[in-house]
């Protein structure tokens, strides 16, 4: 069994594990969000039916026991209203949050066709070779060497920084561009956007601040109930977010290795990408800008983690170690040299 076959089998098993974890956690997050939104709707309905039954219905000459029914059978109201409110309160805001971040990231810099035509030409040539639509290419004026791929196969954008362009040789730069093009071909940006939504939903569900101490003086029982509910919701959503992070990290690491392999096959020079990774790893510095949240971080899209201390170690690292990636690429070089593919 060749290295490529073993790598493909390993990637498929890891992706299967990641998707299974994300599926289970996403269901739990959806249930939690439905219950959280449904309870809020149930409490609001209590006020509404109380007003309706005590103020309006007596005037009309009747009483239908709405308050009693709402108090004694909360489950239909909680589940039904929670399902209706799920996309409004949680799903759509999470999608909008990611879309705005991706739009901001994708519009950074100037078109490469105007500032670095050699990059645009290289991507055009690689796209033709891969028989895929040519993506837009932008160059952001930042010293930190970074590269991203936003969008999908038919409407993608590749973003590189001047720090990356100035640091790499022509062959290394072409290998990085091929890596990002492979991400677009594989639909990685859209896949990562999809799996980030449940975690952002969990963040929104568990984002409320703890109850104010002022309520304790006037309504101690209500305060105690609020504290217990807040604590349970916080613990549940924290565990769910960690589960999402684990699944996303495993999936992201698999996608990075797949993009490395795609770039090596597209350029026919695995050693160029290995050299680029080594060069970029040696020059990696901590970012000066404020850290973005883990969920929205561009670090999961960058060719290397944003910094050595974040996203590169432990269960939640978004990228394989640089040594592992270089080892895989060097094995491909040996196989090509010996005639094995």
Active site amino acids:
180
Longest dimension (CA), the chain: 93
Residue 102 corresponds to which tokens in the numbers above? 């991706």
In degrees, to the nearest 5, what angle opens at C-alpha 118 toward C-alphas 117 and 124?
90
For the purposes of burial, counting CB atoms within 10 Å of the CB of 299, is it exposed (0-12), middle (13-18) or buried (19 or more)? buried
Selection from 179, 139, 200 nearest residue 301 by Cα: 179
Compute the half-sphere exposure of residue 68: CA atoms within 13 Å on the CB side of its CA: 3
SS3 309: coil
C-alpha separations of 307 from 25, 132, 293, 323 in Å: 28, 32, 14, 15
Say how far apart CA 12 and CA 10 lie, in whole Å: 5
Buried b (16+ CB within 10 A) or exposed e, 93-117: ebbebbeebbeebbebbeebbebbe
Say how far apart CA 252 and CA 297 lie, in whole Å: 13
Rg (CA), the chain: 26
Say how far apart CA 53 and CA 57 lie, in whole Å: 5
Selection from 290, 309, 310 nearest residue 300 by Cα: 310
């Amino acid at each position: 069994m060749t290295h490529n076959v073993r790598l493909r089998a390993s990637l498929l098993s890891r992706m299967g594990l990641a998707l299974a974890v994300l599926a289970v956690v996403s269901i739990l997050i959806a249930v939690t969000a439905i219950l959280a939104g449904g309870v809020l709707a149930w409490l609001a309905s209590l006020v509404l039916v109380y007003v309706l039954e005590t103020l309006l219905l007596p005037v009309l000459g009747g009483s239908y026991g709405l308050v009693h029914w709402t108090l004694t059978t909360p489950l239909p109201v909680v589940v039904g209203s929670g399902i209706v409110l799920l996309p409004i309160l949680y799903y759509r805001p999470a999608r909008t949050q990611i879309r705005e971040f991706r739009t901001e990231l994708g519009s950074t810099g100037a078109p490469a066709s105007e500032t670095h035509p050699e990059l645009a030409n290289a991507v055009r040539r690689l796209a033709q070779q891969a028989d895929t639509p040519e993506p837009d290419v932008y160059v952001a004026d930042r010293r930190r060497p970074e590269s991203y791929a936003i969008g999908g196969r038919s409407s993608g954008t590749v973003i590189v920084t001047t720090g990356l362009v100035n640091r790499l040789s022509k062959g290394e730069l072409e290998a990085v561009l091929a890596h990002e093009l492979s991400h677009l071909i594989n639909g990685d940006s859209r896949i990562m956007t999809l799996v980030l939504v449940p975690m952002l939903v969990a963040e929104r569900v568990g984002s409320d601040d703890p109850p104010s101490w002022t309520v304790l003086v006037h309504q101690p029982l209500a305060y105690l109930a609020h504290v217990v509910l807040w604590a349970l919701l916080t613990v549940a959503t924290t565990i769910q977010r960690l589960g999402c992070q684990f699944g996303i990290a495993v999936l992201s690491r698999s996608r990075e290795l797949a993009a490395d392999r795609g770039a090596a096959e597209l350029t026919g020079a695995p050693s160029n990408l290995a050299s680029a990774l080594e060069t970029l790893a040696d020059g990696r510095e901590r970012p000066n800008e404020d850290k973005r949240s883990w969920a929205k971080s561009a670090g999961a899209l960058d060719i290397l983690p944003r910094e050595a201390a974040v996203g590169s170690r432990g269960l939640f690292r978004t990228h394989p170690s640089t040594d592992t990636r270089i080892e895989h690429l060097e094995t491909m070089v040996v196989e090509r040299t010996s005639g094995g593919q």
